[in-house]
Amino acid sequence: MNEATPILRLLPPQRVAGSDQVAPLQFTIQDTARLLAVSKRTVERLIERGELATVGRGKLKRVPYDSIVAYQNRYRNDQVA
């Protein structure tokens, strides 16, 4: 039996109960690579250059949702200009 690769779905940020704050969503380096359709090494380079923010260290390093969205918006704006 062939096992299919699970589809990664980007969920919208969830509101914290009883406030206007948005709960932080964070993704692993590998998940970030899948979301951006690039290699894991490319994500690491983007982090090294400061184009993506991270939280944590080593294997626990995560990329916040808002950093991914900000990067995508900058990239889109560069493509349009």
Measure the CA–CA gap between 7 and 81, rounded to whole angstroms.
32
pTM for the whole structure: 0.66
Q: What is the pLDDT of residue 79?
A: 64
Confidence of residue 1 (pLDDT cuts 50, 70, 90): very low
Measure the CA–CA gap between 47 and 51, rounded to whole angstroms.
6
Place of tokens 């949702």: 65
Q: What is the pLDDT of residue 33?
A: 95
pLDDT (tens digit per residue) in 7-64: 556 666 666 667 776 655 899 999 999 989 999 999 999 999 999 999 998 889 999 9
Residues 6+ apart with CB under 8 A from 43: 29, 32, 33, 36, 52, 63
Measure the CA–CA gap between 47 and 36, rounded to whole angstroms.
13
Q: What is the pLDDT of residue 9?
A: 61
